[in-house]
Amino acid sequence: MATLGIPQNTIAVLQKYKFNFQKKYGQNFLIDTGVIDRIIEASGITKEDFVLEIGPGIGTMTQYLCERAGEVVAVEIDRNLIPILSETLAEYDNVTVLNEDILKVDINALAWEHTKGKPIKVVANLPYYITTPIIMGLFENRVPIDSITVMVQKEVADRMQVGPGTKDYGALSLAVQYYAKPEIITRVPPNCFIPRPSVGSAVIRLTGHSEAPVHVEDESLMFRVIRASFNQRRKTLVNALNNAPGISLEKEQLQKSLEELGVPATIRGEALSLEQFAELSNIIGKKIGKQRANMEDENGQ
């Protein structure tokens, strides 16, 4: 294996193909073999695994993945990288490169085609401009996930991992923690990339839950409640939920809901745990159901 993670080798490939970095694609290529080793080790890949890599770049980490995994599919949007990948991955017969936008790929269908339902591992040095849609897309579309081990912006890794009562806590923390267990593996400084990003980075591993960590009657309602709470995070929870889209309860009913949850009426959303959001959405859901039944009675339906 030609080790692309060594800066001189990466530069030689880039020069050979006269490659121009495209800022719009978040292209910051890894040039630190120590960091790549940490990512590979944290992902715990074996020959039994199917791995999806998002944004292989010139194939630096892809080479390591091909050595360790049973099969690798790498999805790269930039067509100028495709001829480079053909050369850098030429010696591997367990990799497929797709020249696609990952946000437009039906990952469920792709995974099913290769694993017939066995959970997959996702490994990537992500393009930071689409970190949240990529991660949430994997979870919300119910792609069978074993783990996601990815490089992200440092602040985003922090947001995924924190709990209530901290400034970084928000809708992303709750969504990620509902689907997976997040663990920050290591911080990565800008000098591990070419070109250097203007922000710090971190590798985070999200291990999919085998069972949902909380009981939720209506997932989409819970996420509406969460989004409404953090859209106006300076307001009290009651005021943030009042008039929020898809939560059709009067203020008084919302106050009663918080009473039932056993928290003060003046509480803010950022103080609630995932368990409390789940319980609150179950309480709100029941009240909305009752309200609807009453209205139907009144209308003689």
Nearest approach, Cβ of residue 179 and ligand SAM (Å): 21
Residue span 113-152 as binding mask against ligand SAM, x where in contact by CB under 6 A, dash where not:
------------x-x--x----------------------
Query: Which residues are within 8 A (CB) of 192 and not within 5 positions of it... i.e. 6 or more apart?
Result: 30, 31, 32, 35, 201
Which among 20-28, 65-73, 266-274, 291-299 is the span making contact with ligand SAM, rule CB under 6 A? Answer: 20-28
* Residue 29 makes contact with ligand SAM by CB under 6 A: yes
- Compute the least distance from the CB of residue 80 to ligand SAM, in Å: 9
Name which of 130 and 278 has its Cβ closer to ligand SAM.
130
Contacts of ligand SAM in 63-82 (CB under 6 A) = 75-78, 81
Cβ neighbors of 285 (< 8 A, separation 6 or more) are 217, 218, 221
Sheet holding 201-208, edge to edge: 95-98, 71-75, 50-54, 120-125, 145-153, 201-208, 180-188
145 vs 247, which CB is nearer to ligand SAM?
Answer: 145
CA distance 95 to 147: 19
Residues in the chain: 301
Pick between residue 7 and residue 213 the one whose CB is nearest to ligand SAM: 7
Residue 55, interface with ligand SAM (CB under 6 A)? yes
Question: How far apart are CB 204 and ligand SAM at their closest, in Å?
Answer: 14
Residue placing its CB nearer to ligand SAM in the complex, 29 or 50:
29
DSSP element (H, E) containing 113 = helix 107-115
Selected binder of ligand SAM within 13, 61, 176, 274 (CB under 6 A) = 61
Kindly give the pairing relationship between strand 180-188 and strand 201-208. Answer: antiparallel
Cα 156 versus chain centre, distance: 10
H-helix or E-strand containing 52?
strand 50-54
Site for ligand SAM contains 269 (CB under 6 A): no
- Across 16-40, b (16+ Cβ under 10 Å) vs e yields eeebeeeeebbbbbbbbbebbebbb
Q: Residue numbers of the site for ligand SAM (CB under 6 A)?
A: 25-30, 54-57, 60-61, 75-78, 81, 101-103, 125, 127, 130
